[in-house]
Amino acid sequence: MDIFGIFSIIGTIAFAVSGAIVAMEEEYDILGVFVLGLVTAFGGGVVRNLLIGMPVTSLWSQGYLLKIAIIAMTIAFVLPVVWIQRWRRSEAFFDAIGLSAFAIQGALYATQMKHPLSAVLVAAMLTGIGGGIIRDVLAGRKPLVLKDEIYAVWAMLAGLVIGLGWIKSNLELLFLFVVIIGFRMLSVYYKWKLPRRSLHINTADEQQKRGNS
């Protein structure tokens, strides 16, 4: 199996289980669990294919990945709640695995098609975070990847390294895979965040300004 297959399997399992657990948290039925899990696992890849010119129908040629996702979601659905709660304590780690695997996979696809660096960055980011965004929207949540600890940046970092041609061998790609996971977990542990600006006015400050005027 080539490096594409390895990263596809890792990312598919991690994200399919993630989507299934979010569906169970929202108390969806078994159909909702499978739909949300599949969207999380394959949504980012579908959006990526649209943007870099790959046939969207190539999804149906990945029958083995669909089977792997279904098996992973089925296992997650029948696991005892206590086990799932234990898994959730490590959820950020498995999510980091999926992010790293899919970001690298997306960047490899884009470079294989001889796209420019900008397209490689977008492909890496969308493959890494696209499924999570669709999952959160369908679950009625604000997309955590856009407001939580630094997330998409690590996917773009993987795309940058691959797009610039700094990493080519399988061993180097595996090293990059571990590095991206490490950065993601550091951002979770230390709560690194990108700069943000809120347009909500503090009520106390507003009243004070009115009083002074």
Mind spelling out the 3-state secondary structure of 56-101? HHHHHHCHHHHHHHHHHHHHHHHCCHHHHHHHHHCHHHHHHHHHHH
Q: Supply 177's token pair.
A: 């895979």
The residue ranking higher by pLDDT, 94 or 118, is: 118
Model confidence at 211, pLDDT cuts 50, 70, 90, reads: low
Q: State how far the Cα of 125 lies from the Cα of 119, in Å rounded to an integer.
A: 10
The answer on pLDDT for 204 being more than 70 is no
The answer on pLDDT for 108 being more than 80 is yes
pTM: 0.83
Model confidence at 54, pLDDT cuts 50, 70, 90, reads: confident
Q: State how far the Cα of 8 lies from the Cα of 110, in Å rounded to an integer.
A: 15
Q: What is the pLDDT of residue 208?
A: 61
* Percentage, residues of the chain above pLDDT 70: 92
The residue ranking higher by pLDDT, 58 or 179, is: 179
Q: What is the pLDDT of residue 151?
A: 84
Average pLDDT over every residue of 149-157: 88
Side chain identity, residue 64:
Y
The answer on pLDDT for 172 being more than 70 is yes
